[in-house]
Structure 1
Amino acid sequence: MSDGLPALESSALRRILLLQSSISSAPDEKGLMDMIANALSSLPGVDDCVVCIEGASSKQLDAPAIVGVPSASKRAETPSSNCAEGSPAAQERWQRIELRTPRHEYGDFILQVRDQAAFAPYQALAGNTANLVALHIENERRAAELSQLNRDLEEQLRDRTQQLAECESRYRLLAENADAAFGIFDKTGTLVMLNEKNAAILGGKPDDFIGKSLHEIFPESADFHMQRFAKILREKKGDRFEDPFPLRDGEHWFSSNLQPVIDHKGDAVGIQIVAVDITERKRAEEAQKKSEQTARALLNATHDAAFLIDPGHWTVLALNDKAAQGLGKSADEIVGRSIDALMPSQVAARRIARGEEVIRSREVVCFEDERQGLHFDNRMYPILGPQGDVVQIAVFAQDITNRKQTEQALRVNEERLELAISVTNDGMYDWDVPTNTVYFDSRYYTMAGYRPNEFPGTFDEWARRVHPNDSIHVQDAVKQYLSGEAAKYDEEFRFRRKDGEWMWIRARVKIIERDEQGTPLRIVGTHTDVTDRKRIEWEREELIAKLEDQNAELERFAYTVSHDLKSPLITIKGFVELLRQDLAVGDAEAVEDALLRICSATDAMNQLLTDLLELSRIGRLVNPPEDVPLQQLAREACELVRGQIEESGVRVDITADLPVVFGDRLRLLEVFQNLIGNAVKYMGDQPDPHIEIGSRLDAETTVYYVRDNGIGIEPRFHEKVFGLFDQLDQNAEGSGIGLALIKRIVEAHDGRVWIESEGAGCGATFCFTIAPPPTSESIPKSA
């Protein structure tokens, strides 16, 4: 045995080295504990070893002997005389080695040492093994954290998809109810949406009422309706009501269907109302309450053909002169006879069927029919008896032939109305193709922020407002539809609003008139605002891209760690083999050199792991953001590397106009410290080494920079230097992680970092940006 360390037992050493190389392949923490306990128990001077990892242990602990065993640091503070003779701590020599990283303590190695002198040469190796185990546990749990992060991002993606489904459901709801008065109030009773029909009933346009409270629209009955709203919101259950409302042209009755608006979380956030004007029905019901004498008087007072019918036998009880004239008989010839005997069988069957409908519903039934080229508008009113049953039916038939002819002449306007109803409350246009003139309805203008008729109704005016990048495609699609090459026209494009912003439009058209050759003469179409849907789709795509980037980063991180940790381990392994040989021949100087190299490789691996841990914290462990004066921060960074600056004789200038930014002060200090230190390191043989720290304005963006007149960087390496462990000079000091750390910190501040250098000998400028603090004006606007 030499004057140095005692000869290490090769079998025990091999077991420890084999253990260290097998840590990453352990099936689980229980298997890892068993491997370590078996290996460390074989060390010279050690009788037993128990491995504990956060509550679990490799074997049952001997509680009386283990309780109170101090760690190495505590043991050094406690004099040996404090241990009572014959106590378990004196009889059993236990030692505790902590499993700790800079981030967390994970457990202990507890060794029962029989011979402290025999165990001493292996104590550092056992400590190194503890470090490797702690780092392995931390890496495993970090991977589990990243997996959980991926699951959280997937949950966000599902939430955004649900929002898109809700948006689409709202449009469908509008389409289904566009033929009635439709509106939505929020929980406070403020109107947030209504259609043209509802606005027309109220005597204005949608924009006249949206944003107003129920008290402003119906001041006299608002409290009553708010009580209904509260009940529906509380119970999340809809209801139907019939109420009178005072309008500009008098009182109207409406049958209203109130339903709660439920969001994707299941909360009631508003009230949806679909209302139908039932004023005529109410008036008819009032008429039904009058006596038979009143009904007979009405028959003679009206200019329409009027009948009073007995529903029991479908006979005529009374009629007026207009009705008798229509049948070509006198009143005496008609009264008492059945409908079958007075009318053609098919007409009589239709009238009886309608009469039976009146009996079942006890409501007014209106219908139109045609007889001998004449059109009639028929209304059947039930007359109720004391028991509430229908005892008579009053029938009024109005000759509407002239009105029908007028309606035919106004067919164009009817088609516009029909299409407007069928495609919800969107903007509508009617294009006269031969003259190239277009009729735009008021909603077409107002949805883009224009006043009605603010720009001329021509195809060219529409085309001028289509985004330049979409114009060619959209106009080609129009031409293909007009020529018959495309079966339909359904396109989405950007359309310029009055305020200059772009909104996304879905345009659909239909050819409704052609000439004899099939050439389109008239086209009717709609504009639908789909900006919100587009924004949600873009946010979903960004979320997916972010998830993919983080998965890729996880793969790169795992590859880099596994690759770069091998280098110091290989060094340690090689010198351990040399150490074994030198110990065998007793070469103390060679043993000392091998141990120094092993320690150096261990320190390198420890520094590498420390840097990796620091890099992994960026974006996870965030200090509270604050206002940071960059000029003061740059001075602090210079103080931290003053030794390097003075040793290299570098002159540092900090411009006086550096602004105050909003961010993580400690992380930004790391950025300046690394950039200044990097500039000093690569200054080269410059006779007048100089570093300038300042800022400039590039296209309204503030750019911060650290400029040096050192050795410079070739343009082809500008991106490479920001990679993990990428160093252009392999002989340079450091781990190669500094610029990767800077890039991660800047990106965590929503900025970017880059290099400006013309090449070798031209110096280098490291530039970076930092996003300004969020304000109300930074909220995304429409695309």
Structure 2
Amino acid sequence: RQLFELESDAIFVIDNETGEILEANPAASVMYGYSHDELLRMRNTDLSAEPHRTRQAMAQRQSVIPVRWHRDRAGRVFPVEIMASFFTWHGRFAHLAAIRDITDRWRAENQLRESEQRYRAVIDTSPDGILLIDLAGVVLMANQRAAGLGGRADPADLIGRNVFELVAPDERDRSLADMAQLLREGTLRGVEYSILRDGEERVPVELSASIVRNADQQPQAMVVVVRDITARKQAEALVAEHNRDLARVNAELKSSNEELDAFAQTVAHDLKNPLHLVIGFAETLRDIYLSLSEDERHDALRLVIRNARKMNNIIDELLLLAEARKAQVTMTPLDLSRIVSDVQQRLMDVVHDTGATVTAPAHWPLVLGYGPWVEEVLMNYLSNALKYGGRPPAVELGADLQPGNWVRLWVRDNGDGVAPREQGRLFKPFSRLEQAQTKGHGLGLSIVRRIVERMGGQAGMESQGEPGQGSLFFFTLPLAD
């Protein structure tokens, strides 16, 4: 009886047939707001907010009712938990009902449910993949986005799988090392991987993770957030490509400016010398024309004409350079025998004057190129060989096949050659060599390189830089089918 009176839960003795309250403890009066006498005049259904369920529970003799809704004297409806035991009370079949107000617990559980619903809504609507994995990497929970990144329609398809199966094979060792770091340090931020969608398609992702610990601060699991960075990588690639293009344009602009500076110096030098001679001889003829003999007049005029032609040749070279920079040409099979013959005819006087010997093969391979340009390249190489070769010049022309269906055409002389330290500058636009200050290599060979590259080939030279060993100047063209 003392326990009955002191119990903090409401305790009733209730007739199981009629529902009449036969006895109640003080806690019952406190819970429902009725006096003890008032309670003894009531039935249990008078305290219920759902009397039909109360009658049903008595009929079924339910001993445990987790949740039932009751109403107190003030009309407040509140949740209760009921434990019942059935027995005989003064000859009447009754049950002892211990009733606990679970309002606080219900409110806490309801708040927890709402919190879980909010949490689930955040997780499921997150644009990032979110996974909960155990310490071995097995997936315990995944949201919809994580399933999509892995090529799955349902997050449940990821549950039980090892997360490392999603990582690209060539990056799994690194991911294992990062997981070890996560266990040591507790967090991992902004690590990039490639994961496999449907086991095949590589998807670039950025991953961050943290450790979930128990009350004893021991690691229990890991929360992993995975972000698809495909769009970012594509944007980075576009930026990198743009930067490369910008760097290339800047380099080309710088090169063009450097070429322009060198061009001005070279053209001024190459035009100035013959122009001075023309002016000098013209002034001489003007001042002492009558005192000169007929032969002296002819010599002076011949020198004027020769230097005027030099200036004309320089202008022709400049026009050819401009054409090589802009013109669109068609590559066709070339008759090299005819082109070589035309070049030799153009240089016939030089060959005669220098006493040179020029040898060339009777048969040439069929190559693809642009005839006027190929003739100018051979003209440049052969004229340089005649001017700067040995005395007398011995010049040889030839061709040989190269790997990949290419033909190397070459001109070899017997001159002093070019020092190794200066060979790298030889084909640079408007560059002059120390040993060729008066030879004019700068302009002509830069044009050669330009037009050969426009035809898809390469221009170069070979030389030991020793007197008598000479030099070999070559260029390549594709072999015609």
Aligned with residue 510 of structure 1, among 208, 231, 234? 208
Determine the structure 2 residue equivalent to 1:372: 107
- Report how far residue 563 of structure 1 moved: 1.6
Task: Give the corresponding residue for 2:327.
Answer: 621
Q: Distance in 1 between matches of 2:391 and 2:277?
A: 37
Q: Aligned-pair distance for 1:722?
A: 0.7
Change (3 A) 1:573 1:727: closer
- Matching residue of 2:317: 611
Larger relative contact order (CA 8 Å, sep ≥ 6): 2
The alpha-carbon distance between structure 1 residues 566 and 670, as it changes in their structure 2 partners (threshold 3 A), is closer
Distance 1:433 1:637, change over 3 A: farther
Instruction: Specify the code of the residue in structure 1 equivalent to 2:360.
Output: R
Alpha-carbon deviation of 1:558?
Answer: 2.9
| Superposed displacement of residue 509, structure 1 | 1.4
Distance in structure 1 (CA, Å) of the matches to 2:186 and 2:479: 50
* TM superposition shift of 1:538: 3.9
Q: Which moved more, 1:552-561 or 1:527-536?
A: 527-536
Separation (CA, whole Å) in 1 of partners of 2:198 and 2:455: 35
Going from structure 1 to structure 2, the CA distance change for 1:541 and 1:442 (only over 3 Å counts) comes to same
Instruction: Tell me if the contact between 2:461 and 2:471 (Cα under 8 Å) persists in the aligned partners.
Output: no
**CA–CA separation in structure 2 for the residues paired with 1:521 and 1:694:** 69
**1:192 maps to what in 2?**
none
Secondary structure, in 3 states, of the residue corresponding to 2:399? strand
Structure 2 residue matching 1:372: 3-state secondary structure: helix
Q: Deviations over 1:607-666 (max 9, x none)?
A: 22221122022232213x35x33xx3433432322445996231337665x66x5x7565
Q: Deviations over 1:388-416 (max 9, x none)?
A: xxxxxxxxxxxx97x998x89xx8x9887
Distance in 2, Cα, partners of 1:705 & 1:459: 56
Task: Go from structure 1 to structure 2 and tell me whether the alpha carbon gap of 1:621 and 1:735 turns closer, same or farther (over 3 Å shift).
Answer: same
Tell me the secondary structure at the aligned position of residue 465 of structure 1.
Answer: helix
CA drift of 1:572 comes to: 3.8
Q: Does 1:748 align with 2:457?
A: no
The residue identity in structure 1 corresponding to 2:292 is A
Distance 1:541 1:738 in 2: 34
Residue 737 of structure 1 aligns to a residue whose secondary structure is helix
1:720 and 2:425 are equivalent in the alignment: yes
Aligned-residue offset at 1:372: 3.3
Structure 2: how far apart are the matches of 1:595 and 1:684? Answer: 29
Whether 1:523 and 2:258 are equivalent positions in the alignment is: no
1:554 and 2:259 aligned: no
Tell me the TM-score normalised to structure 1 length.
0.36
SS of 2:327's equivalent in the other structure is coil
SS at match of 2:407: strand
Letter in 2 for 1:766: F
What RMSD over aligned residues (CA atoms) do the two structures have, in Å? 5.7
CA gap of 1:667–1:330, structure 2 versus 1, over 3 A, is: farther
Q: What is the number of equivalent residue pairs in this alignment? A: 358
* Counterpart Cα distance in 2 of 1:771 and 1:547: 32
* Conserved? CA contact 2:259–2:430, under 8 Å: no
Q: How does 1:627-706 map to 2 (within 5 A)?
A: 628-629=332-333, 632-643=334-345, 648-652=357-361, 656=365, 666-667=372-373, 670-671=376-377, 674=380, 684=390, 690-697=396-403, 702-706=405-409
What is the one-letter code of the residue matched to 1:618?
A: A
Change (3 A) 1:457 1:613: farther
CA deviations on 1:533-554 (whole Å, 9 max, x unpaired) are: 3443343224313322332243
Letter in 1 for 2:211: E
State the one-letter code of the partner of 1:723.
K
- Counterpart of 1:537 (choices 235, 239, 251) is 239
Query: Aligned-pair distance for 1:417?
Result: 4.4
Letter in 2 for 1:638: V
Q: How many Å apart are 1:523 and its aligned residue?
A: 2.6
Q: Distance in 2 between matches of 1:735 and 1:550?
A: 23
- Amino acid paired to 2:251: D
Amino acid at match of 2:324: I
Which runs of 5 or more residues in structure 1 are unaligned? 1-324, 332-340, 345-369, 377-399, 773-783
Decide whether the 8 Å contact of 1:650 with 1:680 is kept in 2. no
What amino acid is the match of 1:541?
Answer: N
Instruction: Determine the C-alpha separation between the residues in 1 that align with 2:393 and 2:264.
Output: 42
Kindly provide the amino acid, as one letter, of the partner of residue 465 in structure 1.
D
Q: Provide closer, same or farther for how the CA distance between residues 584 and 612 of structure 1 changes in structure 2, counting only shifts above 3 A.
A: closer
Closer, same or farther: CA 371–550 of 1 in aligned 2, 3 Å: same
3-state SS in 2 of match to 1:605: helix
CA distance in 1, matches of 2:107, 2:291: 129
Shift of 1:720: 1.3
Q: Do the aligned partners of residues 593 and 576 (structure 1) sit closer, same or farther apart at CA in structure 2, a change above 3 Å counting? A: farther
Residue 292 of structure 2, aligned match among 585, 588, 607? 588
**How far does the alpha carbon of each residue in 1:80-116 deviate from its partner, in whole angstroms, 9 at most, with x for none?**
xxxxxxxxxxxxxxxxxxxxxxxxxxxxxxxxxxxxx
Classify 1:466/1:583 alpha carbon distance in 2 versus 1 (closer, same or farther; 3 Å): same
**Partners of 2:151 and 2:186 in 1: CA distance:** 33
CA–CA distance in structure 2, aligned partners of residues 498 and 693 of structure 1: 57
**TM-score, scaled to structure 2:** 0.53
Task: Confirm or deny that 1:488 pairs with 2:194.
Answer: no
Q: 1:576 to 1:702 in 2, by over 3 A?
A: same
From 129, 136, 153, give the equivalent of 1:435. Answer: 136
Kindly tell me: are residues 639 and 521 of structure 1, through their superposed partners in 2, closer, same or farther at Cα, counting changes over 3 Å?
same
- Offset, 1:726: 4.2
Deviations 1:208-247 (A, max 9, x none): xxxxxxxxxxxxxxxxxxxxxxxxxxxxxxxxxxxxxxxx
Structure possessing the higher radius of gyration over alpha carbons:
2
Matched, 1:465 2:465: no
Contact 1:641/1:673 (8 A) holds in 2: yes
Report if the CA contact (8 A) 2:182-2:209 is conserved: no
- 2:239 maps to a residue whose letter is E
Instruction: Classify the secondary structure of the residue corresponding to 1:721.
Output: coil
Between stretches 688-697 and 540-549, larger displacement belongs to: 688-697
Q: Please give the alpha-carbon distance, in whole angstroms, between the structure 2 residues aligned to 1:750 and 1:433.
A: 61
Q: Distance in 2 between matches of 1:615 and 1:414?
A: 70
2:443 counterpart of 1:737: yes
Q: Supply the AA of the counterpart residue of 1:650.
A: T
Q: Is the 8 A contact 2:167 2:194 kept in 1?
A: no
Contact 2:188 2:209 in 1 (8 A): no
Task: Report sequence identity in percent.
Answer: 14
Offset of residue 461 of structure 1: 8.2
Instruction: Please list the CA deviations of residues 313-350 of structure 1 after superposition, one character each: whole Å capped at 9, or x if unmatched.
Output: xxxxxxxxxxxx9954789xxxxxxxxx8779xxxxxx
The secondary structure found in structure 1 opposite 2:408 is: strand
Unaligned runs of 5+ in 2: 1-46, 54-74, 79-104
* Residues 489/674 of structure 1: CA separation in 2 closer, same or farther (3 Å cut): same
Say whether the 8 Å CA contact 2:275–2:311 is kept in structure 1: no
Secondary structure of 1:539's aligned partner: helix
Give the residue type in structure 1 aligned to 2:474.
F
Partner Cα distance (1:481, 1:771) in 2: 61
Aligned residue number for residue 564 of structure 1: 266
Change (3 A) 1:664 1:513: farther
Distance between the aligned counterparts of 1:596 and 1:483, measured in 2?
A: 93
d(CA) in 1 for partners of 2:392, 2:277: 40
Secondary structure in 1 matching 2:222 = strand
Is the contact between residue 713 and residue 758 of structure 1 (CA under 8 Å) also seen in structure 2? yes
Query: What is the CA-CA distance between 1:770 and the residue it aligns to?
Result: 6.8
Q: Is the 8 A contact 1:654 1:692 kept in 2?
A: no
Match of 1:766 among 467, 474, 478: 474
Distance of 1:738 and 1:441 partners within structure 2: 66
